A = this chain, B = another copy of it.
Amino acid sequence: MWRARSQGPKEYCGVFGVYGHPEAARLTYYGLYALQHRGQESAGIVTSDGKHLHQKRAMGLVPDIFSERDLKGLKGHIANGHVRYSTTGSSVLGNAQPFIINYAGHGLCVGHNGNLVNAHELRRHLEKEGSIFQTSMDSEVVMHLLARNIHMGFEEALVSSLSQLRGAYSFLFMTEDTLVAARDPQGFRPLCLGALGDAYVVASETCALDLIDARFIREVEPGEVVFIDKNGLRSIKPFTRQRHAHCIFEFIYFARPDSYIFGQTVYSVRRRQGAQLAEEFPHPDADLVMPFPDSGNYAALGYACAAGLPFEMGMIRNHYVGRTFIQPSQDMRDFGVRVKLNPVRELIKGKKVVIVEDSIIRGTTTMARVQNIRNVGAAEVHMVVSCPPHRFPCHYGIDFSTKGELIACNHKVEEIRNLLGLDSLGYLSIEGLLESTSASRQGFCLACFDGEYPVPVDENAGKFCLEC
């Protein structure tokens, strides 16, 4: 089966919450719909009517999971929603989020975007003291820490529990009467605040605010914990200030182009990546510039514009390809590629084309697509990539597949060019990439390119192995 983007890096998670709206569940449903690109494996909404929590979580896409009846049953003015692609924990319903517990008569739930690097160690310790874990998710650890600290009071317990965590987290907690947004001190993952009338909204990306016509207020700051309850919004910054480490891959591939994250509009950053590529890898004799749609569209526009070359949609997307379908037999060469994108023969035949790609992870899909372009008779095929080669795994919430599968991990650029069957191949430099963000190197996590991990990791940790 193929699904949209299935061959690219796996996305991690998105969170969306509402406080103070009579249709909290419905708004959250739309918010999750807008964040679907951040997780297609499972989704969940938990609401509170002030007294009880109500929930629905299931495997699948947001519109397939929730019915009108579900939304009606999710009563209350507070909601906490989540879309998930697992980076830790297995792909089972029990691991769908928000994760909900009943503790001494009270309900508490959490949705998590990011990955904790010391979850395994914390869990081992808690289990030794008699805690029973329900899931294999790293996110469950914070709930057990909370349960053991709750005698301090909720806010104290929360700060104390968060202090023990290391790694990436944009958390959305909800009790019967409070919504809490918390972002790790490095600010790995985006998280923003919005308003809709008197209601507050929290979302991973601004595109979710746009869909429900909410007003963007500001981003939640790294290290900030925001409490929203009947007294309004209250913010604390209980942690020592640390250097920021925004995930630069959000700008390159993950975030939606219409979102505003880390202080910038993603579309514009990607367009500048293209312009930067035109400077680093000019192809003055080319006949046309084309993207592999849709992720390469914006850098390709930037390249074509900066280079003064014609921009063409040389490959046509099949609009229905997101749906699972039956595998073809082995002898249908490159079928998986063709079913998603079909080249326009007349446009490409005999031409020198420059393809703009956002990234190359394993290289297998790119190879087949290039072959497809060659098959319809391109004279020359050049490729420029809007980021440096991926050489290191991510430990903060992105699944690039294991290190051994990263093509740039085992091959030099010239070898990759040869493997992909290209006439030339250019990767954007780290400097060029930073230039495109108009921000300093210090603000970003570039670990997947340079291996410098801003928060130390135990490389053997892997995913949890306690599956049921």
A63 interface hit (Cβ, 8 Å): yes
- A468 engages B100 (CB within 8 Å): yes
- A322 engages B322 (CB within 8 Å): yes
A window 195-249: CB within 8 A of B: 207, 210-213
Closest Cβ–Cβ distance, residue A256 to chain B (whole Å): 6
- B107 engages A132 (CB within 8 Å): no
Closest Cβ–Cβ distance, residue A49 to chain B (whole Å): 14
- A346 engages B268 (CB within 8 Å): yes
Residues on the B chain within 8 Å of A132, using CB: 101, 103, 131-132, 134, 143-144, 147
Q: Which residue of B lies closest to A466 (CB)?
A: B102
- B102 engages A320 (CB within 8 Å): no
Given contacts A317-B294, A318-B33, A322-B322, contact A102 B133 (CB under 8 A): yes
Contact of A329 among B23, B294, B310, B347 (CB under 8 A): B23
CA distance A124 to B260 in the complex (A): 47
- A68 engages B326 (CB within 8 Å): yes
Q: Which residue of B lies closest to A464 (CB)?
A: B102
CA distance A62 to B32 in the complex (A): 27
Sort chain A's interface into a size bin: 35 or more
A67 interface hit (Cβ, 8 Å): yes
Closest Cβ–Cβ distance, residue A66 to chain B (whole Å): 7
Contact of A305 among B62, B100, B310, B323 (CB under 8 A): B310
Copies of this chain, complex-wide, total: 4
- B207 engages A342 (CB within 8 Å): yes
- B311 engages A311 (CB within 8 Å): yes
- B339 engages A33 (CB within 8 Å): yes
- B258 engages A342 (CB within 8 Å): yes
CA distance A436 to B301 in the complex (A): 25
A343 interface hit (Cβ, 8 Å): yes
A12 interface hit (Cβ, 8 Å): no
- B322 engages A320 (CB within 8 Å): yes
Residues on the B chain within 8 Å of A311, using CB: 301, 311
- A301 engages B323 (CB within 8 Å): no
A312 interface hit (Cβ, 8 Å): yes
- A342 engages B210 (CB within 8 Å): yes
Residues on the B chain within 8 Å of A104, using CB: 124, 127-128
CA distance A67 to B134 in the complex (A): 26
- B320 engages A36 (CB within 8 Å): yes
- A316 engages B130 (CB within 8 Å): no
Residues on the B chain within 8 Å of A63, using CB: 320, 323-326
CA distance A267 to B143 in the complex (A): 53
Q: Which residue of B lies closest to A258 (CB)?
A: B316
- A127 engages B100 (CB within 8 Å): no
Q: Which residue of B lies closest to A136 (CB)?
A: B102
Q: Which residue of B lies closest to A300 (CB)?
A: B313
Given contacts A256-B316, A257-B344, A265-B346, contact A333 B468 (CB under 8 A): no
A window 127-155: CB within 8 A of B: 127-134, 136, 143-144, 147-148, 150
A window 43-65: CB within 8 A of B: 53, 55, 61-64
18 contacts between A and B (CB under 8 A): A30-B328, A34-B342, A36-B319, A102-B468, A104-B124, A127-B147, A131-B132, A211-B338, A213-B332, A256-B342, A258-B343, A258-B344, A265-B344, A265-B346, A268-B346, A294-B319, A301-B313, A322-B322
11 additional contacts, CB 8 Å, given A4-B319, A130-B144, A211-B338? A23-B329, A26-B326, A26-B328, A26-B329, A29-B325, A30-B339, A34-B318, A62-B320, A130-B131, A131-B147, A294-B317
**Interface positions of A (Cβ within 8 A of B):** 4-5, 23, 26, 29-30, 33-34, 36-37, 53, 55, 61-64, 66-68, 71, 100-105, 107, 124, 127-134, 136, 143-144, 147-148, 150, 207, 210-213, 256-258, 260, 265, 267-268, 294, 297-298, 301, 305, 310-313, 316-320, 322-329, 332-333, 335, 338-339, 342-347, 465-468
- What 7 A-B pairs have minimum CB-CB distances, sorted nearest first? A63-B325, A130-B148, A258-B316, A265-B346, A63-B323, A104-B127, A36-B320
